Every structure is written in structure tokens, then in C-alpha cells.
């Protein structure tokens, strides 16, 4: 019996991503957000998740991808992090996949920019690749100024 792991999958700019299901709290439709001035742009705002206030991180912005067209509303993938739940804004939700560990590979060295930090590895599927998102890293962006410069400047010089 091969080792397998389940992933909650989603799309960002036609790229296929996944987060281990045990990290995911829930997936919800677009929620109205309250923007937070003065914070890095990757934080799109705060949503009310049944009385709990949850920060929404736009993964497109986090990866330095172009903004989503206005007509398209993002979906929320709420993941559990050390500081409580955080919502990732993604384009579309995919299926839950059960993947074998032997199809996993570390990210290629040529990975550029923010992705270098955020992708834990790649699963080779029959009809493409699935990138495993490091959710802790994806939210820790704005923790302190120093870290901020690192990640931001890495994007800037691309």
C-alpha cells in the first residue's frame, strides 16, 4: 500500500495548486471584505467567518501574479495556521485529490520569485503538475519589516 495524502486543490492563473486537507478548515464562496488600510497589498481585507474575524490573503498578489479581472469573484480557502484561521483568495476550487507520495518532487531550483518561498514541492499528475502551497509561509509575509523587504524586493527585481 503506497503512502498517500489528500489535497484540497485550487487554481490561480491556470496554475494548479494544492494544500494538504488537514490544514484546510473550510472552503467558502466569496465573502464581502473590509479593507485594511496601511497593510501590505497582499492582505485584501478582513472577513466575518461566523463571528470570527479572519484575514484574507490574496494568493495572486502573494505570488506576484496579475490581478484577477473584476468580473471574477475569488473563492476563500480557509486554512488553519499557528495564529488561527486565515483565508486564501483563489480563482477556483478543484477536487480533493488523493496523491501518492512517490509522485512528489522538490521544487525545481529554477523557480523564480515569491514562488521559491511558497512552493513546498510538486506532484506529477497524469495531466499536469500540482504545486503544494506552504500555507504558513504564505501568511507570514507581513510579520516584520525585515522579512517584508526580503520577500518584496525579491519580487521587485524580477
Partner 1 sequence: MNDDAAIVKEFLVESYENLDRLDQDLIALEKDPSDRERLASIFRTIHTIKGTSGFLAFNQLEALAHVGESLLARLRDGLLKLNPQITTALLAMVDAVREMLKHIEATGKEGERQDQDLIATLTRLLEAEGRGTMHHGTTEKATDEPEPSKPRPNLGEILVQRGAAKDSDIQSAVEQQQAGDPRHIGEILVERETLKGQDVIDALKAQQQARSQSASDSTIRVDVGQLDRLMNRVGELVLLRNQIVQYANLTEDGELLGTSQRLNLLTTELQEGVMKTRMQPIGNIWSKFPRTVRDVALGCGKQVRIEMEGKETELDKTIIEAIKDPLTHVVRNAVDHGIEPPEARRAVGKNPEGLLSLRAFHEGGQVNIEITDDGAGIDCEKLRNKAIAKALITADQATRMTEREITNLIFLPGLSTAEKVTNVSGRGVGMDVVKTNVEKIGGMVDVQSKPGQGCTIRMKIPLTLAIIPALIVTSAGDRYAIPQVSLLELVRLESEQARKGLEMVNGAPVYRLRGKLLPVVHLNKELQVDVPNDSIAGAQTASSGEGQTVNIVVLRADDRQFGLIVDEINDTEEIVVKPLGKQLKSINAYAGATIMGDGKVALILDVLGLAQRSSVINEIRERAVVESQEKQSTALLGAAQRNPVLLFQHGDAGRIAIDLSLVARLEEIQSDTVEIAADQEVVQYRGQIMPLLHVTEILQSTPRKQVRAEGASLHVVVYMQNGRSVGLVVDRILDIVEEAFVIQPHSGRKGISGSAVIQKRVTDILDVPGLIAAAAEEHSSAALA
Residues at the contact surface with partner 1, assessed by CB under 8 A: 32-41, 43, 45-48, 51-53, 55, 61, 64, 67, 83-84, 86, 112-113, 116-117, 139-146, 148-158
Beta carbon nearer to partner 1, 118 or 122: 118
Q: What is the rounded end-to-end Cα distance, in angstroms, of the chain?
A: 43
In the complex, least distance from residue 146 CB atom to partner 1, rounded to whole angstroms = 5
Q: How far is the CB of 68 from partner 1 (least distance, A)?
A: 13
Nearer of residues 22 and 34 to partner 1, judged by Cβ: 34
C-alpha pair distances (Å), 148 with each of 40, 123, 136, 151: 9, 29, 15, 5
From residue 16, give the alpha-carbon distance in Å to each of 28, 52, 106. 18, 29, 16
Task: Please report how close the Cβ of residue 153 comes to partner 1 at its closest, in angstroms.
Answer: 5
Cβ–Cβ < 8 Å for 155, 114: yes
Do the Cβ atoms of 101 and 2 come closer than 8 Å? yes
* Least distance between partner 1 and beta carbon 87 (Å): 11
- Looking at beta carbons only, is 19 or 114 nearer to partner 1? 114
Amino acid at each position: 500500500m503506497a503512502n498517500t495524502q489528500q489535497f484540497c486543490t485550487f487554481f490561480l492563473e491556470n496554475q494548479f495548486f494544492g494544500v494538504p486537507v488537514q490544514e484546510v478548515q473550510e472552503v467558502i464562496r466569496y465573502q464581502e471584505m473590509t479593507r485594511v488600510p496601511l497593510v501590505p497589498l497582499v492582505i485584501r481585507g478582513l472577513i466575518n467567518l461566523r463571528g470570527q474575524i479572519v484575514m484574507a490573503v490574496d494568493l495572486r498578489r502573494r505570488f506576484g501574479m496579475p490581478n484577477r479581472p473584476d468580473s471574477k469573484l475569488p473563492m476563500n480557502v480557509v486554512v488553519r495556521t499557528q495564529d488561527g484561521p486565515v483565508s486564501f483568495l483563489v480563482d477556483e476550487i478543484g477536487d480533493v485529490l488523493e496523491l501518492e507520495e512517490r509522485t512528489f518532487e522538490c521544487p525545481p531550483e529554477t523557480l523564480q520569485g515569491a514562488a521559491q518561498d511558497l512552493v513546498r514541492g510538486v506532484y506529477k499528475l497524469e495531466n499536469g503538475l500540482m504545486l503544494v502551497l506552504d500555507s504558513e509561509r504564505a501568511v507570514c509575509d507581513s510579520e516584520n519589516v525585515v522579512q517584508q523587504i526580503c520577500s518584496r524586493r525579491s519580487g521587485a527585481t524580477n
